[in-house]
Structure 1
């Protein structure tokens, strides 16, 4: 079984890393992240982990959701 990250997971990781580095994410960026995660109609374990990490950081305030 192949456990390489999907291309969408790699793009997703880059987008989420940018949000974490910036300490903020716009509503549009957050929507793009969600669309990218579902791009191949499968949210694989790596994508699920990345999304969970971002959500936890939003919940604890280390990443802020800001207006566009």
Structure 2
């Protein structure tokens, strides 16, 4: 998942990403932790939608 986000940011396609996890086995906290541990240069914000449809925004600074 992080690789796809990195490709979109690196190509200049987007600096804000929406990730829909409603049909995924990935937990939002796992994705958020991975992105915090391995920052993607140029990534400003990720909005994660969980299995119940609740969205959570994670803002990144200094990238």
TM-score, length basis structure 1: 0.35
Q: Relative to total residues, which structure has the larger helix share, 1 or 2?
A: 1
TM-score, length basis structure 2: 0.36
Which structure is richer in relative contact order (CA contacts within 8 A, separation 6 or more)? Answer: 1
The structure whose Rg is larger is 1
Q: Relative to total residues, which structure has the larger strand share, 1 or 2?
A: 2
